[in-house]
Amino acid sequence: MRLDDERESRHVEDRRYSGGGGGGRLSAGALIMLWPLIRGLLRTKIGWAILAVGFIAYMSGFNPLSLLGGGGTTSRPVDRQKDERQALFIKKVLASTEDAWTPMLRRYGRSYRPPTLVLFRGSTRSGCGYASAQTGPFYCPRDKKIYLDLGFYDELARRHGAPGDFAQAYVLAHEVGHAVQDQLGILGKVHALQTRALRQGDKRQANHLQIPVELQADCFAGVWAHHARKYLEPGDIEEAMNAASKIGDDTLQKQAQGYVVPDSFTHGTSKQRMEWFMQGYRSGDLKACDTFAQLSRRR
């Protein structure tokens, strides 16, 4: 994807190496959590040596909380130069989504309110609760922000076999799609139905209601890609399709446990995710993304 000369979005909150991000500096709560370990190490010479090595690793970008299960995508030190290049790319992708959705929603008599992208490393707080590398990227309707640990992209490439800059762009465009759904009132309506289902003890129905939400976000990502075609390079759409195929519920469940449980699906199958992305990409129109109606007819 060619974005070299394009602008960066202003709607970015960078917490990667600040006290609020959980990736660069440790908060007071994190220090309290680590203090029993530190106190024990201070009693021996070997402990002092371990702390010295740990401090050097920490200054290189390693989050010690990852050893305690408290955050961090990986125990590997962060390559700051690579991290900055990746952050710059993502900021430009976000700007391209703003350039696409602003005129698109205006045609339907609506004003687009760009969501804020929060970049972090390890862990951070969101309006929807604790955010960590393990949660993956998500949109929080309570604070209108997208949360993204850039380390997720390493996992996407290494663990799921979905490398490439456009695969990364697709993931962000999917989360922006949720922001669009929120502004159209879709998320609120679905959440109300899910709450009702859960109160009735019907978790299967609550899961089922989430599937068209996620597939529509994939379709909206395709709509964005349609309007960002001038930035695309050969192989970009294939990267997005590959990513969509690798993160379908059926594929992920087969990898994790060797079998599939359709009643627990929340995002749709790999085939569905690929099809809806291409539906949006070919049409370039959000009206082509009525996943709720189409999935209802297929049942």
Domain boundaries, the chain: 160-298
What is the pTM (predicted TM-score) of this model? 0.81
Which range is most confident: 69-73, 123-127, 276-280?
Answer: 276-280
Lowest mean pLDDT, pick from 76-85, 200-209, 242-251, 258-267? 76-85
Distances (CA, A) of 13 to 87, 208, 231, 258, 281: 11, 33, 25, 39, 29
Q: What is the DSSP string of the chain?
A: ---TTSPPPS-EEE-TTSTTTSSSS--HHHHHHHHHHHHHHTTSHHHHHHHHHHHHHHHTT--GGGGGTSS-S-SSPP-HHHHHHHHHHHHHHHHHHHHHHHHHHHTTT----PPEEEEESSEEEETTEEEEGGG-SEEETTTTEEEEETHHHHHHHHTT---SHHHHHHHHHHHHHHHHHHHTTHHHHHHHHHHHHHHTT-HHHHHHHHHHHHHHHHHHHHHHHHHTGGG--TTHHHHHHHHHHHTSHHHHHHHHHSS--GGG-SS--HHHHHHHHHHHHHH--GGGG-HHHHHHHH-
> In the predicted model, is pLDDT for residue 71 greater than 60?
no
Those residues whose C-beta lies under 8 Å from the C-beta of residue 99, and which sit 6 or more positions away, are 227
Average pLDDT of 230-250?
A: 96
The mean pLDDT value of the chain amounts to 86
Q: What is the pLDDT of residue 134?
A: 77
Report pLDDT for 135: 83
pLDDT of residue 28: 45
Percent of the chain residues topping a pLDDT of 70 = 82
pLDDT at 296: 61
> Residue 51: pLDDT above 80?
no
Average pLDDT over residues 63-84: 59
Confidence band for 44, pLDDT divided at 50, 70 and 90: confident
Which of the pair, 25 or 100, is modelled with greater confidence?
A: 100
Q: Which residue has the higher pLDDT, 250 or 46?
A: 250
Least confident of 26-35, 198-207, 230-239, 276-285: 26-35
The predicted structure's pLDDT at residue 46: 79
- Kindly state the average pLDDT of the residues 256-284: 95
Most confident of the following: 22-31, 137-146, 256-265, 287-296: 137-146
